[in-house]
Structures are given as structure tokens and as C-alpha cells.
Chains A and B, each alone.
Chain A
Amino acid sequence: AQKVTQAQTEISVVEKEDVTLDCVYETRDTTYYLFWYKQPPSGELVFLIRRNSFDEQNEISGRYSWNFQKSTSSFNFTITASQVVDSAVYFCALRVAGGTSYGKLTFGQGTILTVHP
């Protein structure tokens, strides 16, 4: 079985601060994919990034960056110079490749990020 844990339930920062959202996962599969989704107050799930288990290269996209460390089973997400529009619930998710669980996403509990002006 797969499990995703997001240690921070809520984070509150002031605009322009950097913030890191932690994600730790558990799986016995050797091939898997990790995701981050953003859920703004409007409710839709917005895809942010996908990482496969063979690619530990960190990625930066504008103010967003992701740090994947297989040795610690972590896939952390950092927002640099946060903005009020970043306020949302962020979910980390895991999908394994193959087997009977092929395709289904297992989500973490989510982190509520509030950015104050």
C-alpha cells in the first residue's frame, strides 16, 4: 500500500517570504510518480509538477522549486517570494506504475497555505 504524509497542516506566512511544504511518501514499488497539486478556494485541482522515481533532478519553475530525495523518500515544494495568490491547499500525491493500483493517485492530507499581505 502507498502512503503520503504532509507534516504541515497549515502554514501562514507574510508576502515575499519563502515557504517550504514537506512531503514524505511510502511505497514498495520501485517505479512510481510523485505529484504536487494546488487547490485554490474555487475548488479545482491544479496540476503543478510530476516527477518519476528515476529522476532525482531538482526542478525550478519560476518561483516554484521541488526537491526530490529518494534516500529520505521526500518530495518537498518551495515557493520563493510568496504572494497572496499562492494561498491555497497544496496536495502531494503518489502513483505507482503497474499492478492493480495502476493509475490511482494517493494523496497526502494537504497543507493549507495562507499568505498575508
Chain B
Amino acid sequence: AAGVIQSPRHLIKEKRETATLKCYPIPRHDTVYWYQQGPGQDPQFLISFYEKMQSDKGSIPDRFSAQQFSDYHSELNMSSLELGDSALYFCASSFQGGEQFFGPGTRLTVL
């Protein structure tokens, strides 16, 4: 069965650079969620989209923005990267707010 796809799987950036993380949900899923998991931490909800509209927002920094496109894939854009942004970023998808299926995550390292 198709799963959630995230790209890239690993990303290394310098401070103050910009990063774009992509998420391709399971086919026919209409809701996408983004979570950030710092080292030794639990995943923290950042933002979600339902039918291409933002549906909920968590503790997402103003330097981050996200959107969901017409094909339901989503991108998380992160600007002015800081050392503290180094984390594992998960995308999850669901159908109409149901069960969330997680992607493998993107490991972002900011040097």
C-alpha cells in the first residue's frame, strides 16, 4: 500500500539559509499535518491543512510557512534557519481528519 512520502530524507543547511520540505500524502487523503521533533523530544504539532486550506496551527515560528497544493502535496518552507531548527520533521496524512499515517520524516541539520 502507498505510504506518505517525504523528501528529502536528510538535509543539511547553514544558519540563515532557507529549506523546503515536501510531503506527498497517501492517495485520496485530503488532510496533511506537519510535526517537528527535536532531539530527545516528543513530536510537536506545527500546522495542518484540509482541502488546501489551513485547518489548525500550532507553535510554528513566523519564519516557517506551509501550504497544500491542488494535488494535495504540501511544502514546509523554513527561512532564516537557526541551530534550534535542527530536528526531525514529520508529515502525516489522513482522510477527513481520520487516522493519521506518518511519513518517514526529514532530518534537518542546521550548521
Contact = CB atoms under 8 A, between A and B. Distances in A.
B72 interface: no
Contacts of B101: 47
Contacts of A109: 41-42
B27 interface: no
Interface of B: 31, 33, 35, 41-45, 48, 50, 55-56, 58, 88, 90, 92, 94, 97, 99-102, 104-105, 107
Given A100-B56, A108-B42, 10 more contacts: A37-B102, A43-B105, A44-B104, A45-B90, A95-B100, A103-B31, A103-B33, A103-B97, A104-B45, A105-B43
A43 B99 contact: no
Nearest to A6: B42
Contacts of B94: 103
A107 interface: yes
Contacts of A114: none
Nearest to B45: A104
5 contacts: A103-B56, A103-B94, A103-B100, A104-B45, A107-B44
A86 B41 CA distance: 19
Interface of A: 37, 43-45, 47, 50, 91, 95, 100-110
By secondary structure, the B interface counts as strand
Name which of A37, A44, A95, A109 has the most chain B CB atoms within 10 A of its CB.
Answer: A44
B43 A91 contact: yes
Contacts of A45: 43, 90, 102, 105
A102 B97 contact: yes
Q: Which of B33, B42, B90 has the most CB of A within 10 A?
A: B42
Nearest to A92: B42
A108 B107 CA distance: 21
A70 B45 CA distance: 25
A25 to B, nearest CB: 13
A107 B42 contact: yes
Contact of A104 (B41, B56, B90, B102): B56
B104 A101 contact: no
